[in-house]
């Protein structure tokens, strides 16, 4: 057996299926979309090579940078909300009554499909009959907001369900990580007279910092390529007020028949996401990662 596994051809043979899968489903499409970015193509007729034109337009396209800014806003908000998730998991993991049930409740939004969530929140945000405004009216607010129709609010209104949607996912990760902190250490701390707040700050958080870094990465990259709720709830409107990079790409490619330019946007999105991944891993790198 050992002989077989050390044979280079066998190794190549065994990794081949996975390699092929990744190549054909991920890397080749990425290269292709970069390539289509050099073309003037409506997705139907002939492609014509136009060199860097699409990429030059992209850099000068105000709408692209607006949508990039919106994507970054989402990234900032979802990263900030990680702290909230972390706080919830700290409470959940500290053996309070009913934490099992609560954990399951928090997980439910994750089990719903994005489109169902979007439909649900569109009903909540309905300006006349929606739950949000009915509640505000109950508290005596007169000029209730029009939520998704107001260009100043629309984007932030969508952030609420997005953050709500992913709560369960991150809480689950943090919860699992916190449960993984050895009891002996915490017991030792207790014996030394540490309060539960001190235990949380000085022991639990440093011990799960590795997981925290991973979730920052997931939140930022996930936000940058975010698409579903935006697309269903406002379609990027009104007037591009809630357009993010991915929805802008979809709109250019499929709605406006600019496959070439759409591909260029997609490639831009990839570059930005890669850069952010690199930046975050650089920023969060520390030598003294705690091992246990």
Partner 1 sequence: MKKKAFSSVISLALAGGLILAGCSSSTGSSSDTKSSGDKTVVKMMHLWPEGSSNAQFTIVDDIIKAYEKENPDVDIQTEILGNEQYKEKIKVLSASNELPDVGITWAAGYMKPFVDGKMFAPLDDIAKEDNFVAGTLDAFSVDEKPYAVPLELNITPVYYNKEIFKKYNLEAPKTYDEFLNVVETLAKNKVTPITLGNKDRWTGSMWYMYLADRIGGPEALNSAINRSGSFEDPALVKAAEEIDKLVKMGAFVKGYNGLSNDEAKGYFMNEQAAMYLMATWELPNYTTTPDVSQEFKDKVGYFKFPTYEGGKGDIDSYVGGPGVGLFVSEQSKVKAEAKEFVSYLVEEWGKRSVVDAGVIPATVVDTSDGELHPMYIDILNDLGDATNLTLYADVQMSAGVADVHLNQIQALFGGQTTPEKFAKTQEDALAAEK
Binding piece for partner 1, criterion CB under 8 A, among 30-38, 134-142, 174-182, 271-279: 174-182
Asked if 42 is part of the footprint of partner 1 (rule: CB under 8 A), the reply reads yes
Q: Which stretch binds partner 1 (CB under 8 A): 11-19, 31-39, 94-102, 147-155?
A: 147-155
Query: Which of 49, 65, 254, 278 forms a contact with partner 1 (CB under 8 A)?
Result: 254
In angstroms, give the least distance from the CB of 88 to partner 1.
Answer: 16
> Applying CB under 8 A, what is the total number of residues that bind partner 1?
41
Rounded distance between C-alpha atoms, residue 130 and residue 2, angstroms: 66
CA–CA distance, 269 with 175 (Å, rounded to integer): 32
Question: Least distance to partner 1 from the beta carbon of 9, Å?
Answer: 30
| Alpha carbon separation from 35 to 72, 145, 196 (Å, rounded) | 26, 45, 56
The rounded distance, in Å, linking the Cα atoms of 160 and 121 is: 9
CB 266, min distance to partner 1, A: 16
Spatial contact of 145 and 63, defined as CB atoms under 8 Å apart? no
Q: What are phi and psi for residue 8, nearest 5 degrees?
A: -60, -40
User: Measured from the CB of residue 132, what is the shortest distance to partner 1 in angstroms?
Assistant: 11
Nearest-10 crossing angle of helices 62-93, 99-111: 160
Among 76, 102, 120, 122, binds partner 1 (CB under 8 A): 122
Output the smallest distance, CB 96 to partner 1, in A.
Answer: 20
Q: Say how far apart CA 165 and CA 111 lie, in whole Å.
A: 9
Q: Which is nearer to partner 1, 72 or 227 (CB)?
A: 227
Contact 229, 222 (CB under 8 A): no
Collapsing DSSP to helix, strand or coil, 41 comes out as: coil
Taking CB under 8 A as the criterion, the residue among 150, 156, 160, 189 binding partner 1 is 150
Pair 209, 216: CB distance under 8 Å:
no
Residue 240 is encoded by which pair of tokens? 């591009």
Quickly tell me which residue has 């330019």 as its tokens. 261
Cβ proximity of 252 and 269 under 8 Å: no
Under the criterion CB under 8 A, does residue 49 sit at the interface with partner 1? Answer: no
Which one among 180, 196, 198, 281 touches partner 1, defined by CB under 8 A?
180
Strand spans (E) along the chain: 39-40, 48-49
Which residue in the set 99, 237, 272, 280 belongs to the binding site for partner 1 (CB under 8 A)? 237
* Residue 270 is a binding residue for partner 1 (CB under 8 A): no
Q: Which stretch binds partner 1 (CB under 8 A): 39-47, 53-61, 93-101, 270-278?
A: 39-47
Least CB distance to partner 1 at residue 245 (A): 17
The stretch among 53-61, 65-73, 249-257, 271-279 that binds partner 1 (CB under 8 A) is 249-257
Give the 3-state secondary structure percentages of the chain, helix then strand then coil, rounded to 5.
Answer: 75, 0, 25
**Residues near partner 1 (CB under 8 A):** 42-46, 110, 113-114, 122, 125-129, 146-151, 154, 169, 172-173, 176-177, 179-180, 182, 234-235, 237-240, 251, 254-258
């Amino acid at each position: 057996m050992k002989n077989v596994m050390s044979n280079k051809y066998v190794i190549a043979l065994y990794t081949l299926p996975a390699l092929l899968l990744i190549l054909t489903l991920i890397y080749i499409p990425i290269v292709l979309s970069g390539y289509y970015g050099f073309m003037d193509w409506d997705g139907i007729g002939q492609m014509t090579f136009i060199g860097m034109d699409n990429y030059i337009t992209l850099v000068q396209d105000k709408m692209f940078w607006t949508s990039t800014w919106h994507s970054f806003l989402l990234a900032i908000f979802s990263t900030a909300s990680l702290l909230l998730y972390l706080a919830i998991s700290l409470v959940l993991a500290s053996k309070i009554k009913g934490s099992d049930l609560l954990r399951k409740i928090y997980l439910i939004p994750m089990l719903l499909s994005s489109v169902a969530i979007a439909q649900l929140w569109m009903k909540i945000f309905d300006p006349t009959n929606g739950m949000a405004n009915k509640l505000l009216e109950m508290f005596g607010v007169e000029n209730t907001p029009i939520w998704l129709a107001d260009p100043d609010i629309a984007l932030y209104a969508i952030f609420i369900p997005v953050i709500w949607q992913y709560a369960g996912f991150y809480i689950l990760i943090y919860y699992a990580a916190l449960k993984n902190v050895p009891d002996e250490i915490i017991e030792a701390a207790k014996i030394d007279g540490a309060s539960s707040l001190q235990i949380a700050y000085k022991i639990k958080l440093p011990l799960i910092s590795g997981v925290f870094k991973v979730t920052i990465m997931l939140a930022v990259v996930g936000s940058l390529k975010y698409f579903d709720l935006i697309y269903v709830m406002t379609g990027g409107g009104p007037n591009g007020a809630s357009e993010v990079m991915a929805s802008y790409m979809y709109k250019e490619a499929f709605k406006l028949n600019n496959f070439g330019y759409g591909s260029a946007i997609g490639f831009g999105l990839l570059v930005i996401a890669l850069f952010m991944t690199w930046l975050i891993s650089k920023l969060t790198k520390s030598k003294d990662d705690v091992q246990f």
